[in-house]
Amino acid sequence: MKIVCLGDSLTYGYGVPRKDCWVSRAAAATGHTLVNRGVNGDTTGGMLARFGRDVLGEQPDRVLLLGGANDIIFGGSDAPARLNLTAMANQAMANRIRPMIALPPPVYAEGIPEPWLALTDYQKLAPVFASYRAWVAAFAKAFGFRTVDFAVPGLLSPEGYTHYLDGLHPDGEGHRLMAEAVIAALPPVRV
């Protein structure tokens, strides 16, 4: 099965070697073809703009969509992400591609580096991130889309960001945990 993983830095694997990002790990473990179409700093608007090239051009069986954090960080709202995620899922279905929806990992506001804090009040946006996660889960359930929940046990401990490079991006171990969530959501490879 061929799956395009469309997203932002969480899909790309910001800060970790390419072989260690969740997309590469899940591909190696399952035997499925997972194509990484993550772009650091992208919004869901950017994902939608490149959907034709990055998804339809690959002719996959499925697309795994993960995005929205940058919409919230730079715009202060999840409304654009909701609209764009809906549009991408509908485009996938119209082209006989089964959408899968990823619930983003939690944001650890206390771990955000100082330069990034000048752009956004992450503490103030915490309810927006939580609301978006809840909406993504409800959206996927309403339309019967398979989900991958990246709020995996061990990624964020009560003490803080155990497996994060910063408050947003998982480290190599975090990507291993994310890969396990993807692996559990995928059907076995047919021989």
Please report, for the chain, the start and end positions of each structural domain, with discontinuous segments joined by +: 2-185
Query: What is d(CA 92, CA 97) in angstroms, rounded to the nearest whole number?
Result: 5
The per-residue pLDDT for range 133-163, each reduced to its tens digit, is 999 999 999 999 999 999 988 887 666 567 8
Cα separation of 6 and 63, whole Å? 7
Whether residue 122 has pLDDT greater than 70: yes
Percentage of the chain beyond pLDDT 70 is 96
Is the model's pLDDT at 5 over the cut of 70?
Answer: yes
What does the pLDDT read at residue 107?
86
Distance CA 185, CA 166 (A): 26
Mean pLDDT of all residues in 87-99: 98
pTM of the predicted model as reported, rounded to 2 decimal places: 0.94
Closest CA to 175 of 29, 4, 3, 2: 29
Instruction: Give the class (CATH, top level) of 2-185.
Output: alpha beta
Cβ burial, residue 22 (10 Å; 0-12/13-18/19+): buried
What confidence category does residue 114 fall into, taking pLDDT thresholds of 50, 70 and 90?
confident
Averaged confidence pLDDT in the chain:
93
Q: Is the pLDDT of residue 53 over 80?
A: yes
pLDDT at 159: 65
